[in-house]
Structure 1
Amino acid sequence: MKQVDLNCDMGEGFGVYHTGSDSELMKYITSANIACGFHAGDAATIRRTVKLALEHGVAIGAHPGLPDLAGFGRRVIDITPEEAYDMTVYQLGAVQAFTKSEGGTVRHVKPHGALYNMAARSRQLADAIAEAVYRVDPSLLLFGLAGSELILAGKAIGLHTINEVFADRTYESDGSLTPREIAGAVIVDAGRAAAQAVKMIKEGEVQTRQQSGFILKADTVCVHGDTPGALEHVQRLREALEAEGIAVKKAGNGA
């Protein structure tokens, strides 16, 4: 039986500002990527989201991003590999501390937004992020865009890597995600998003924006918590996976 992890970006509010429906989404996912304070999140939000994940038995992951609250971490910033390393260690440490204080364990790391896409293309940035994760805890899982430089860097240093695919995003012919500024880059139709995810898991292929097929591996599927209708998306996705006999389990050993 095929199986897949289902992850969602969470804790992406800040102070009195809240995004998404974390408490509802948490019922359907197996892994939560918790914002660490740079692109979103703050101390209270991290703690609250960690507790919510533990209550639902959801795997906890750190979701480090670029220091860009105003742009939600989705604007490219020219950083050095050393800066990428420091940002990753710093943000991972924040989520680890809150998770430990609540009696839990951080299981994975997944970069956010522009940092994620930059590391997917740049081996230097990917190596820096992978090294940061490895030095903090070599047992951590590293989530990255399927087949990307981040996956290769994680494997090279000895991390257990998890190939990630996206239900609610379109793809380019080189396997990268379509830039958000291009119309249609975010799939808002829940049925279409679910169908794309099922195809990637069962067939190992996605139809690109250029109408070509791109081969990839799907270990975990992401639904963005800030996508319009995110709750419907994750509900439809769970229904579609169950209908196809695909088990939804935590990434890694399936525990």
Structure 2
Amino acid sequence: MAIIDLNSDVGEAFGRWTLGDDEAIFRSVSSANVACGFHAGDPGVIRATCEKAVEAGVVIGAHVGYRDLAGFGRRFLDIDPKELADDVVYQIGALQALAAVSGGRVEYVKPHGGLYNTIVKHTAQARAVVEAVKSVDPNLPILGLPGSEVLRLAEEAGLRAVSEAFADRAYNPDGTLVSRSQPGAVLHDPVEVAEHVLRMATEQSVRTIDGSVLTIRAESICVHGDSPGAVAMATEVKSALIDAGVSIGSFL
């Protein structure tokens, strides 16, 4: 039976502001990208999220990003690579401590939002992320877009590079994600999202924004936890995969 990892961005509340239903999402996914406090999350939220992930048997990953709470980490920051590396180390370390006191541990790293998209092509920032992860723990895999600079550099550095696809995002013909500023960039219909994922998991392909079909091989598929109807989408995706003979399990 084929196995695919489903991951979701979680722990993205902050103080009195809440976002998503992480506990419900955990019933459908195998990996949790926990916000580390720079784009979302605070110590209490992070610890509670780790506790819920441990209870649900979901693998914990560090969802590192730019220091950009106001922009939810989705804006590009022209940051010095050394400063970026230090920020990534700091975020991983914070999550490691809060995961440990929750009975869990950090087992991979996935950059968030603006940083994720930037290091598809921005070599200096991609190298900063890779060097930061390697300096903390060279056994931590890095999730990224297939063909991205960060995955190329991760492999060069001896780290495990894990290719990722997105359940609820539209793709450009070159394999990059359609910008959220463009219409149709985010998919909202649970049935459409499930079909999108099935094609990725069983045919290793995705239909792009212009109707062309792109080959895509991914070890993990992201179902965003902050999208409207996220729980319904994750539930539909899990059900469709299981019905197609594909089981849900961590890529580790």
Q: TM-score, normalised by structure 1?
A: 0.96
Quote how far apart the aligned CAs of 1:46 are. Answer: 0.5
Report whether the alignment pairs 1:68 with 2:68.
yes
Which residue type is aligned with residue 176 of structure 2?
A: S
Structure 1 counterpart of 2:201: 201
Quote how far apart the aligned CAs of 1:35 are. Answer: 0.4
CA distance in 1: counterparts of 2:250 and 2:201, whole angstroms? 15
Structure 1 counterpart of 2:236: 236
Q: Deviations over 1:26-70 (max 9, x none)?
A: 111100000011110001011000101001110001101111111
Q: Indicate the SS of the match to 2:12.
A: coil
CA distance in 2: counterparts of 1:105 and 1:42, whole angstroms? 18
Report whether the alignment pairs 1:181 with 2:181.
yes
Alignment of 1:70-149 (within 5 A): 70-149=70-149
Quote how far apart the aligned CAs of 1:84 are. Answer: 2.0
Quote how far apart the aligned CAs of 1:198 are. Answer: 1.0
Structure 2 counterpart of 1:12: 12
* Residues 65 and 73 in structure 1, CA contact (< 8 A), matched pair in contact too: yes
Q: Indicate the SS of the match to 1:63.
A: strand
CA distance in 1: counterparts of 2:43 and 2:20, whole angstroms? 18
* Residues 65 and 115 in structure 1, CA contact (< 8 A), matched pair in contact too: yes
Q: Indicate the SS of the match to 1:110.
A: strand
Please say which of residues 117-126 and 218-227 is displaced more in the overlay: 117-126
CA distance in 1: counterparts of 2:187 and 2:227, whole angstroms? 8
Structure 2 counterpart of 1:169: 169
Structure 2 counterpart of 1:2: 2
Aligned-residue CA RMSD (Å): 1.0
Structure 1: 4+ residue segments shifted above 3 A: none
Please say which of residues 184-193 and 74-83 is displaced more in the overlay: 74-83
User: How many pairs align?
Assistant: 252
Which residue type is aligned with residue 145 of structure 2?
A: L
* Residues 64 and 92 in structure 2, CA contact (< 8 A), matched pair in contact too: yes
Q: Deviations over 1:199-251 (max 9, x none)?
A: 11211111111222222211001011111100000000001100111111111
CA distance in 2: counterparts of 1:179 and 1:117, whole angstroms? 9
CA distance in 2: counterparts of 1:72 and 1:184, whole angstroms? 20
* Residues 81 and 125 in structure 2, CA contact (< 8 A), matched pair in contact too: yes
CA distance in 2: counterparts of 1:80 and 1:191, whole angstroms? 42
* Residues 147 and 216 in structure 1, CA contact (< 8 A), matched pair in contact too: no
Quote how far apart the aligned CAs of 1:80 are. Answer: 2.4
Structure 2 counterpart of 1:33: 33
Quote how far apart the aligned CAs of 1:160 are. Answer: 1.3
CA distance in 2: counterparts of 1:143 and 1:182, whole angstroms? 24
- Unaligned residue ranges in structure 1 (runs of 5+): none
- Unaligned residue ranges in structure 2 (runs of 5+): none
Structure 2 counterpart of 1:246: 246
Quote how far apart the aligned CAs of 1:121 are. Answer: 1.6
Q: TM-score, normalised by structure 2?
A: 0.97
Which residue type is aligned with residue 172 of structure 1?
A: N
Q: Deviations over 1:139-174 (max 9, x none)?
A: 111111122111111111111121110010000111
Percent of counterpart pairs with the same letter?
45
Quote how far apart the aligned CAs of 1:197 are. Answer: 0.9
CA distance in 2: counterparts of 1:73 and 1:65, whole angstroms? 6
